Amino acid sequence: MSTLHTNDAPATVSRLFDLGIEPFFVASALIGILAQRLVQRNCVFCAVPRPPGTEALKKIGGLERLPPDGKWLAGRGCEKCMHSGFKGRLAIHELLQVDDELRALITARVPEHELRTAARAAGMRTLLEDAVAKGAQGLTTLEAILQVVSPDDATVPEASVAAARASGHVLPPREKELTRDISSTVGGAGVTITKQGGEKQCVLIVEDNRTITSVIRYFLELEGFETLLAEDGLVGLKIAQRESPSAIVTDVNMPGMDGIAMVKALRADPLTRDIPILMLTSEESVDSETRALSAGADDYILKPVEPRRLAARVKALLARSKARQPVGAQ
């Protein structure tokens, strides 16, 4: 957990970039961003029904921005609240949950307004929207809300949000052009695998940790590879049999079929037995390395993975594999 001073949750991503953090690190590390502010709370001893004023309504875009069944109150002022009409503070929040689509946008370093539109299309409620919802419960006034939240804070035209939702949401233009969906529900896993189009060499990444997958994928694609993704060994095996990748990078410990079992199955199948395999593991022991190599892995690397080293090892594996092929097969 950490704290940054920004206007809203999506602006936090830009602030992290300004601090010199690479987009792929931000995308892989972020789980969520919570923005919060405090507004004055109505005094419960003297609050009476009172609708928002005309000027406040104009600032937020009209009456249609308010819940239709709102119960708006305001304090008249009493001894309990020192005749201010307010007593205490109320927290308002904006929670941006980082899903795979938002990770793709962050990696592509899209502008803040695109992140905001994507987050809202995915269900994020802005600071203003959360404050208005609480005001409609009689907890504060619209005038008090506008003292701490600008009408423009995290506000995106509803047409933009509706368009994003209708389109199934938002991948950066490059991703949308290059990505084709080859969904798989092997073994009931419901895993979605994406493949980049083109004639590049393809690497299958079999790893159940999405953060590690994101970093590996980023660096492999930076080196010019296509990528296939699977979250367990059984799905990885089926994808390898169907897609015949140029190489496979796999974890050892995974749900369903683990990496050792998957490698043995790949080596037993004539269609996949010659695919170069790089094994990842956090187990730093001779026994673990021996098991991986005995199962048929061509190389073995310890976690935490240094991405550039891993990309170099994959390239070396492919070079050795090509050198072993008969001249007519190259």
Q: Which domains does the chain have, with CATH numbers?
A: 11-166 (3.40.50.300), 182-329 (3.40.50.2300)
Backbone angles phi, psi at 147, to 5 degrees: -75, -25
Is 239 in a helix, a strand, or coil?
Answer: helix
| Share of the chain residues as helix, strand and coil, in percent rounded to the nearest 5 | 45, 20, 40
Q: What is the pLDDT of residue 310?
A: 86
Q: 100 versus 135: which is more confidently predicted? A: 135
Q: What is the pTM of this model?
A: 0.53
Cα atoms in the 13 Å half-sphere on the side-chain side of 13: 31
Distance separating the N- and C-terminal Cα atoms of the chain: 51
Q: What is the pLDDT of residue 307?
A: 76
Q: 153 versus 12: which is more confidently predicted? A: 12
Strands 226-230 and 202-206: parallel
Query: pLDDT by residue (tens digit) across 251-288?
Result: 988 888 889 999 999 999 999 999 999 998 877 778 88
Q: Could you tell me the pLDDT band of residue 209, with boundaries at 50, 70 and 90?
A: confident
The dihedral through the CA atoms of 238, 239, 244, 246 has a sign that is negative
The full DSSP string for 245-286 is -SEEEEESS-SSS-HHHHHHHHHHSTTTTTS-EEEEES--SH
Residue 36 above 90 pLDDT? Answer: yes
Helices 259-268, 286-295: crossing angle, 10 deg rounding: 30
- What's the mean pLDDT in 153-173? 47
- Closest by CA position to 263, among listed 225, 206, 188: 206
- What's the mean pLDDT in 88-116? 91
Residue 295 above 80 pLDDT? Answer: yes
Q: What is the pLDDT of residue 34?
A: 95
